[in-house]
Structure 1
Amino acid sequence: MMARPSKPLISRAAAVAASIDIIDSEGLDAFSLPRLAKHLGVRAPSLYHHFSDKNEILTEVARFIAGTSVARPRRRPGPDWPEYFVSLALNFRQSILRHRNAAPVLLQHLPRELFVDTYEDTARFLLDSGVPAELHVRILDGMETLAIGTVLMEAVRPPSTKSTIFPNVDRVSQPLLAEALTSNPLTQKQLFEEMVRSFLHGIIRDHDLEDQSTATATA
């Protein structure tokens, strides 16, 4: 292990921000500790004040992109609680797609506890919205799986239009799929939004929460 310099020349936050700059502009393959040190104007050993190795830096990059930089919606608890999660999912998507080159980093280095840290507040929001506790894990785990899986899959693909959501569709051999694409009115973002909304409203219907929401709204 390389000895740590006696005095830090950079901050941990600056190193993470510089790492993201390199990955965004030059791609993940260009990222290395020497490249990061050069970008910061320091020698590589200075990085060991803050990080034990490259993997720790990439974990913090993932934490920032998928956590710190994702805006949390300002919405009061109530019968329209699914819209909080729709907004949060859209904010998550926006942050990830802003850094498409970092998608492989998120796949490999996303800290498992990243979202758990905020789930206590989210569980309180659900409870105050009239959603029983036995459904909270179903909602939180489902949203985590749905958002991460869908957005990261989108991030590793080239940006698409409505007509290229399914690429390389042949109108002769795949006429039904081609017609479906032609008939689809939704963008990739809108499809994601409706997928999240459908998941949450499915829980409402399956567990008779609609009557409870109406009662909450009219109380």
Structure 2
Amino acid sequence: MARPSKPLISRAAAVAASIEIIDSEGLDAFSLPRLAKHIGVRAPSLYHHFSDKSAILAAVARQIAGAGNLPRRKPGPDWPEFFVTLSMNLRRSILKHRNAAPILLQYLPRDLLIGTYEDTARFLEESGVPAHLHVQILDGMERLTLGAVLTEAMRKPSTKSTIFPNVDPESQPLLSKALAANEMTSRQLFEEMIRSFLHGVVRNENVAITDAAPSDNVKISAN
């Protein structure tokens, strides 16, 4: 069947409907016929906006990961908090759509997490971060954030006591003790992991500067 000469739906509506199906019925339930039925059109109408199913899934990944994730940023000594907020926003969006986690793993464009690389490198430079640390920060942020969030999304939601599930106090007394002593939620643990990584990069750089030129060191600020 030939597709209609004019689109019967918008691209945004098709993406939103795709997310609704995946959220409520799971990724296995998603197909072009199922999507078309959900929005009341015939499947050929979808080809006005998407070449195939993969193109729709890629748009879903961008929508989930990109919607409202970029916080306002102003270069300065507290630059790590921009990345912390960015990661927290992405985590919240992905966990809202847990069934879509495999889609993001496969289709998420690498530059979507941090915006354009050039703009982010400029932000780091204007914040006083040396250029030789930019790749380490940007690559590390993507790996940490996506790896941690997608892993969390594919597990059942946890409480402080079930971060490590099925722990036996008799055979695993130390881990049980650690869980009992832990006061952080999964969200707080994630936030501190991101912050620790960024401050660790700064700390290591300052140590290297101090070791190389103790009389002329200029420390990077990360307040």
Deviation string 1:23-75 (CA, Å, 9 cap, x unpaired) is 111111111111100111101110111111111100110111112x1431223
Once the two structures are TM-superposed, the CA of residue 110 in structure 1 deviates from its matched residue by: 1.7
1:10 equivalent in alignment to 2:25: no
Match of 1:37 in 2: 36
SS at match of 1:94: helix
Shift of 1:86: 0.5
The RMSD of aligned alpha carbons is 1.8
Q: CA contact under 8 A between 2:202 and 2:220: conserved in structure 1?
A: no
Which aligned pairs between 1:1-219 and structure 2 lie closer than 5 A?
A: 3-67=2-66, 69-115=67-113, 117-208=115-206, 211-213=219-221
- Opposite residue 19 of structure 1, the aligned amino acid is S
Q: Is the 8 A contact 1:5 1:46 kept in 2?
A: yes
Q: Which runs of 5+ in 1 are unaligned?
A: none
Counterpart residue identity of residue 42, structure 1: V
Distance in 2 of aligned mates of 1:11 and 1:164 = 43
Assess if the C-alpha contact under 8 Å between 1:62 and 1:109 holds in 2: yes
Instruction: Give yes or no for contact 1:162–1:187 (8 Å, CA) kept in 2.
Output: yes
TM-score by length of 1: 0.92
- Aligned residues: percent identity? 73
Unaligned runs of 5+ in 2: 210-217
Q: Aligned pair count?
A: 213
Could you say what secondary structure the match of 1:202 adopts? helix
The one-letter amino acid paired with 2:37 is K
User: Residues of 1 paired with 2:74 and 2:36: CA distance?
Assistant: 44
DSSP 3-state at the match of 2:7: coil
